Structure 1
Amino acid sequence: MNLYKKQFQLAFMIAISISISLGSCTGSKEKSTEKTTATKEEGHGEEEGHGAEGHSDEIELTEQQMKAVDIQIGKIEEKNLTAVVKASGQLAVPPQNEAKVNLLSGGIIRRISVLEGQKVKKGQILAVIENQDMIRLQQDYLSSKNGFSFVDAEYKRQQQLKAAGAGTGKSFQLAEANYHAESSKIKALERQLQQLGISPSRVSSGKITSEIPVIAPIAGTIGTIAVTTGSFIQPGTSLMDIVDNSKIHADLLVYEKDLFKVQIGQKVSFRLTNQENQQIEGVLNGINKSFEDDTKGVIVHAVITKPLSNLIPGMYVTGLISVGTALSPAVPIDAVVKAEGKEYIFIVEEEEKGGTKEAGHGTHFKKVEVVTGVSELGYINITPLEKLPANTRLVTKGAFYLQSKSSGPSEHSH
Structure 2
Amino acid sequence: MKWFQYKTAIVTGVFLLNSFLFLSCGSSSGKKEVKAEVVAKEREEKEPEGIVELSEEQLKAVGITVGPLEQKNLNAVVKASGQLAVPPQNKADVNVLMGGIVRKITILEGQAIRKGQTVAWLENQEFIKIQQEYLTTKSAFAFTQEELKRQKELNEAEAGTGKVLQQVQANYNTEKAKLSGLEKQLQQLGINPLSVANGNLVTQVSVTAPISGTIGHIAVNTGTFAEPGKPLMEIIDNSQIHCDLIVFEKDLFKVKVGQKVNFILTNQNNQEIQGEIYGINKSFEDESKGIIVHSIIRNADRYKLIQGMYVTALIDIGNQVTKAVPVDALVRSEGKDYIYILVGMEEKTNEKDSSGDKKSEAENHYQFKKVEVTTGVTELGYTQITPLEELPQDPKIVTKGAFYVLSKSKGGEEEEH
CA 410–162 in structure 1, closer or farther in 2 if over 3 Å, else same: same
CA distance in 1, matches of 2:262, 2:68: 19
Residues 55 and 410 of structure 1 are in contact (CA less than 8 Å); yes or no, is this contact kept in structure 2?
no
Aligned to 1:318, which of 304, 312, 317? Answer: 312
Q: Residue 68 of structure 2 contacts residue 394 of structure 2 at CA under 8 Å; is this kept in 1?
A: yes
Secondary structure, counterpart of 2:411 in structure 1:
coil
2:147 to 154, 168, 177: 154
Deviation at 1:403, TM superposition (A): 1.9
Structure 1 counterpart of 2:410, from 402, 407, 412: 407
- Match for residue 122 of structure 2? 129
Is the aligned partner of 1:216 residue 2:209? yes
1:364 aligns with 2:367: yes
- Of 382, 387, 390 in structure 1, the residue corresponding to residue 385 of structure 2 is 382
* Structure 2 Cα separation of the partners of residues 159 and 379 of structure 1: 88
Comparing 328-337 with 258-267, greater Cα deviation is found at 328-337
Paired position in structure 2 for 1:331: 325
Matched residue type, 1:309: Y
Contact 2:65 2:398 (C-alpha < 8 Å) held by counterparts:
yes
Identity percentage of aligned residues? 56
Distance 1:66 1:163, change over 3 A: farther
1:248 pairs with one of 236, 241, 246 = 241
Matches within 5 A, 1:159-170: 159-170=152-163
How far is the alpha carbon of 1:71 from its aligned partner?
A: 2.4
Within-5 A mapping of 1:4-153:
57-153=50-146
Would you say the 8 A contact 2:56–2:363 is kept in 1?
no
CA offsets, 1:56-81, max 9 Å, x none? 73333344433332323332221111
Query: What is the Cα-based RMSD across aligned positions, in Å?
Result: 2.5
Gaps of 5+ in 1: 1-42
In 1, the alpha carbon distance for the partners of 2:137 and 2:84 equals 51
Q: 1:67 to 1:126 in 2, by over 3 A?
A: farther
Shift of 1:287: 0.7
Note the alpha carbon deviations across 1:196-245, whole angstroms, 9 max, x for none.
22222222222211211111111112222222223222222212211111
Query: Shift of residue 82 of structure 1?
Result: 1.0
User: CA, structure 1 residues 356+362, in 2 after alignment: closer, same or farther (shift >3 Å)?
Assistant: closer
Aligned-partner residue type, residue 365 of structure 1:
F
C-alpha change, 1:413 and 1:344, in structure 2 (3 Å) is: closer
Aligned to 1:289: 282
Contact 1:272 1:318 in 2 (8 A): yes
Whether 2:400 is the aligned partner of 1:397: answer yes
Q: Residue 198 and residue 296 in structure 1: after superposition, are their counterparts in 2 closer, same or farther (change >3 A)?
A: same
Q: Which moved more, 1:148-157 or 1:392-401?
A: 392-401
Going from structure 1 to structure 2, the CA distance change for 1:157 and 1:390 (only over 3 Å counts) comes to farther
- For residue 366 of structure 1, report the CA deviation from its aligned partner: 2.6
Query: SS where residue 105 of structure 1 aligns?
Result: coil
Where 1:90 maps in the other structure, the secondary structure is strand
1:171 to 133, 155, 164: 164
Contact 2:245/2:294 (<8 A) preserved = yes
Taking the aligned partners of 2:295 and 2:367, their CA distance within structure 1 comes to: 43
Normalising by structure 1, report the TM-score. 0.81
Report the alpha carbon displacement of residue 339 of structure 1 after superposing the two structures with TM.
0.8
On the 8 A contact 2:346/2:364 being kept in 1, the answer is: no
Is 2:228 aligned against 1:228?
no
Distance 1:218 1:277 in 2: 32
Report the AA paired with residue 376 of structure 2: G
* TM, length-normalised to structure 2: 0.81
Task: Mark the CA change 1:60 to 1:178 in structure 2 (over 3 Å): closer, same or farther.
Answer: farther
Q: Does structure 1 residue 373 correspond to structure 2 residue 376?
A: yes
* Secondary structure of 1:142 counterpart: helix
Q: Where does residue 343 of structure 1 map in the other structure?
A: 337
User: How far apart, in 1, do the equivalents of 2:53 and 2:272 lie?
Assistant: 31
Unpaired stretches in structure 2, ≥5 consecutive residues: 1-31, 41-46, 349-361
Q: Distance in 2 between matches of 1:229 and 1:57?
A: 73
Q: Give the secondary structure class of the aligned counterpart of 1:238.
A: coil
Distance 1:61 1:136, change over 3 A: farther
In the TM superposition, residue 412 of structure 1 has moved relative to its aligned partner by 5.1
- Residue 309 in 1 paired to residue 300 in 2? no
Change in Cα spacing, 1:100 to 1:143, as seen in structure 2 (3 Å) is same
C-alpha displacement at 1:345, in angstroms? 1.4
Q: Report how far residue 95 of structure 1 moved.
A: 0.8
201-210 or 281-290, larger mean C-alpha shift: 201-210
Shift in alpha-carbon separation, 1:128–1:392, aligned structure 2, 3 A? farther
Q: Is the 8 A contact 1:86 1:319 kept in 2?
A: yes
How many residues in Structure 1 have an aligned counterpart in Structure 2? Answer: 361
Whole-angstrom distance in 2 between the partners of 1:239 and 1:327:
52
Instruction: Indicate the SS of the match to 2:186.
Output: helix
Q: Residues 386, 178 of structure 1: CA spacing in aligned structure 2 closer, same or farther, 3 A cutoff? A: same
1:357 Cα deviation from its structure 2 partner = 4.9
Counterpart-to-counterpart distance in 2, 1:290 and 1:119: 36
Query: Which one-letter code corresponds to 1:131 in the other structure?
Result: N
